[in-house]
Structure 1
């Protein structure tokens, strides 16, 4: 997740909405399971009148807001249970009585991967949800087409199924603080208690830039840089697939530009957080606010504000499970930590398929990749370069070319992780996987967590 202008969801004061639950819950190491157990134990889910808070999350944002919602309800004396929307079916929804949903939209109006089964099996047609009252917080970004597309589709399906909205759907564009306050106000009306107007601000840590290396000098594409930050007196913990929020410096007029999200390309054992960032250029020739600062203006030794947060939908499987990594461009960052996590230990195999522009200039981290092949940390590496006259292929062509081998890996239980650009790459890769594996098999892989995407 390395896009600058489109993959950040919290700006200005909205950045203060992140960490109530993270502060209350211990996210660390194998925190996915421990955090869920800890938070569930801290909330009262007893009683027949308990409210259900469900989340449909792609990068962890909706899940955090769901736990913030649950905590506010619990503090107001309302029993509450929290669960993924994908774990519910029509019977469970009807039995819920009161339902509050925090739903993200991914891609161009799509549902998060974790609710693909729910969309296919439960939302395929109206069901009897009479007696269910619900509220919906829809997260979106107006820079994408079909703003809040999944949230709106879910709202329409719930109403066609006879569920009654407790209040109008609340839509959030890029973490708009006013929309969040509206949601809090509606929670207060439900509980008869004042919900605190501003949820606890995030606890950013201080990190120091210790390395910045140009990865593709002479490339026909935008500059790509490897950046490394060392923690200042703290011991952060994360796993492969997690995301960093980097706070940006205030603008010249004093306004707060918020933060940006980037995939972490390293592991805690490396002693530093590493990223691959492309310097974006606007139509007028000026650099992207975040990427220009990180790649050119931030000096070695300068400190920044950053926190690393979980992205459970892009965590990898157990080491013995075969792993297929597919990506392009700076999406290599989101894949790199996954093969590093298996370094020096027995594993079920790691196959990387990667695409960039030119072999001469854009073979990112080539020395490292060749070393990983020699040590068998990477089992197989296939790369394509779209601007080379002797190649001209995109990464999805590798899937078609090696379809039989890919099917064999999947038959052995492989998990597929895809990271890179939304436009072109992810759609092309999805279509190629569908062709290789079958239109019926790919949704099953998604529903069982064996096909996961981090695209931007």
Structure 2
């Protein structure tokens, strides 16, 4: 059944252009037919209603009821033809219809509503066209339906039960004005939307940047995710600006795979397209910004013209983003435009910091909560934190360089002690003639992002952090900063919305797969689902080393199992003989397939990309078949957040 639906969907998509053209033509023909009928009946009605006369032979009973006598009724027959007589309250004839006109009236009564229904259905079929055409379609549908309903009013004009002739004309005039205005407005908008701003995002960074550009430049760009694009779509624009994140070790985001495959199958782009790419990445990975370069090479090979070099961005570097915008501004006709990249960070007070596995100092994991000062978020969102270096070490290094640690300086438009400015910047021990000169050349440390484990209805915001050390034993900056937080200590952070990992609007069965600290957003999603009174099947697969030391969020999981908000729980304790998650998934392959293909379930996957994420994705492709897996990614029924 699933394959049949997908086949039908692909068939419709492949014929979309011709289908849209035919449906648009058909709805215009219906519109023309309605207008001709309305005009004809208007002329008939006008000629009939010019003659108005009273009927004699009306008897009024004692109760006030007026009736015809039989003699009068016979006199109302014209020749040998039966006619419909329309009277007002004063028993004056205001309209009459011949047998031929009556036949047409009966026919319209039978097919008129069918025409109106056809217009509405066709408009809904065309609803998935470009967004700016939707209002025009609605207006067009409204006018066509008004025409047909106007025909009924004119055929059976009755001042007692129907609209007056002038009211019918007035309504139709308003409909035409509405349609003409919306068509003019939307046509003007379509002329300005010559630039496409597209994004390929895995954790929401590229999408966030794209939305920020789009918000500050309204009605200038069309904003779309790469997953919704085809090669033909690109040909509609003169310029295409792409913000592309590299996922893991040089891979494209999951949602961009289908677009890449379609581009590879395309011979050449039909129209001339100029493009520029802002490539997001992390220099700690070997293949830095690889997907951005791959995308640039692919577009160039298909005939698109690259208007700037690929601009590489290391962990959200605002200078690089600003440089890219300056380069492409004149290509899109915005020579003087500037876009603010200022982030609204807030101060969060630490509420608690709990080490959950003290038996494993080399894999220490902390549940850290912060006081929420009225900020809103959804289950699946992220907390973006500005990390800081250790204060004692920074003071020691500054003294060695001969600086006064407490000297006041201006850093990022804020006055603070020198050591405080240094501990939140990329200072590598450089010297300067003065403290202010030192901080003037420093840049703020890039933020780190952590999944939120709490739910929006809870009073505190919680994250789950593992203390990290590299291969040489050097402590990770952000993780150690957070794990060392004390109660009431302030951090600078903000909520980052992660729309691609939110709960769907529809209630549906959900499979959640996580390992290690990747369980954090899955707990948030489960808490979000538990608020609903309707219990929907939810299945959690969780992998860690040992149940005795690594059963994170044990109390919450057991509580959700008790209240049935978590209906299935499959742990994989690798050092307790429970194997790995992939083994558990393979054992439950038939059930997973049924949930996904028959029950329209969702899958959420979170954890480390290397090792865990790669193996789980490979396993799911094997269970569901690769083309089905990719279709589910496109339909946003498989949502991936790997780091």
Task: Calculate the TM-score normalised by the size of structure 2.
Answer: 0.60
Instruction: Map 1:356-371 to 2 at 5 A.
Output: 356-371=544-559
1:243 counterpart residue number: 382
Q: CA deviation at 1:71?
A: 5.4
Equivalent residues, number: 407
**C-alpha contact 1:357 1:385 (8 A) present in aligned 2:** yes
Q: CA offsets, 1:360-417, max 9 Å, x none?
A: 11111212211111110101101011122x33x1111110111111111112111110
Q: Does 1:405 align with 2:546?
A: no
**C-alpha contact 1:351 1:379 (8 A) present in aligned 2:** yes
- Which of structures 1 and 2 has the larger relative contact order (alpha carbons within 8 angstroms, sep 6+)? 1
Q: Does 1:264 align with 2:408?
A: no
- Residues 189/224 of structure 1: CA separation in 2 closer, same or farther (3 Å cut): same
**C-alpha contact 2:308 2:328 (8 A) present in aligned 1:** no
2:221 counterpart residue number: 80
Counterpart of 2:236 in 1: which secondary structure? helix
Q: CA offsets, 1:186-230, max 9 Å, x none?
A: 13332362443x734211122111111111121375101111111
Q: CA offsets, 1:8-61, max 9 Å, x none?
A: xxxxxxxxxxxxxxxxxxxxxxxxxxxx99xxx9xx954256211111112221
Q: CA offsets, 1:112-145, max 9 Å, x none?
A: 2222321233343443244111111111222223
- Residues 282/108 of structure 1: CA separation in 2 closer, same or farther (3 Å cut): closer
- Residues 424/221 of structure 1: CA separation in 2 closer, same or farther (3 Å cut): farther
Structure 2, unmatched stretches of 5+, are 1-130, 133-184, 399-421, 426-443
2:511 counterpart residue number: 324
**C-alpha contact 2:231 2:262 (8 A) present in aligned 1:** no
Q: CA deviation at 1:283?
A: 3.2
**C-alpha contact 2:281 2:289 (8 A) present in aligned 1:** yes
2:41 counterpart residue number: none
**C-alpha contact 1:73 1:187 (8 A) present in aligned 2:** no
2:198 counterpart residue number: 54
Q: Does 1:193 align with 2:352?
A: no
Counterpart of 1:352 in 2: which secondary structure? strand
1:444 counterpart residue number: 631
| Structure 2 Cα separation of the partners of residues 348 and 262 of structure 1 | 27
User: Root-mean-square deviation (CA), in Å?
Assistant: 2.3
**C-alpha contact 2:263 2:298 (8 A) present in aligned 1:** no
Q: CA offsets, 1:435-456, max 9 Å, x none?
A: 2111221111111101111111
Larger Rg: 2
Counterpart of 1:201 in 2: which secondary structure? coil
| Structure 2 Cα separation of the partners of residues 72 and 330 of structure 1 | 36
| Structure 1 Cα separation of the partners of residues 212 and 456 of structure 2 | 27
- Residues 409/192 of structure 1: CA separation in 2 closer, same or farther (3 Å cut): closer
**C-alpha contact 1:319 1:348 (8 A) present in aligned 2:** no
Instruction: Map 1:197-208 to 2 at 5 A.
Output: 199-208=340-349
1:169 counterpart residue number: 310
Q: CA deviation at 1:79?
A: 3.0
Moved more, 105-114 or 444-453: 105-114
**C-alpha contact 1:56 1:103 (8 A) present in aligned 2:** yes
Task: Calculate the TM-score normalised by the size of structure 1.
Answer: 0.84
Q: CA offsets, 1:214-261, max 9 Å, x none?
A: 111213751011111112xx3111111111101223662612323210
| Matching residue within 123, 128, 136 for 2:277 | 136
Structure 1, unmatched stretches of 5+, are 1-35
- Residues 160/273 of structure 1: CA separation in 2 closer, same or farther (3 Å cut): same
Q: CA deviation at 1:161?
A: 1.0
Moved more, 106-115 or 432-441: 106-115
Q: CA offsets, 1:75-107, max 9 Å, x none?
A: xxx932222222221222111121111111112
Counterpart of 2:508 in 1: which secondary structure? coil
Q: Which has the higher helix share?
A: 2
- Residues 359/248 of structure 1: CA separation in 2 closer, same or farther (3 Å cut): same
Instruction: Map 1:106-255 to 2 at 5 A.
Output: 106-190=247-331, 191=333, 193-196=335-338, 199-219=340-360, 222-231=363-372, 234-249=373-388, 252=394, 254=422, 255=425
- Residues 220/429 of structure 1: CA separation in 2 closer, same or farther (3 Å cut): farther
- Residues 430/109 of structure 1: CA separation in 2 closer, same or farther (3 Å cut): same
Instruction: Map 1:283-432 to 2 at 5 A.
Output: 283-296=471-484, 298-318=485-505, 320-344=507-531, 345-388=533-576, 390-391=577-578, 393-411=579-597, 412-432=599-619
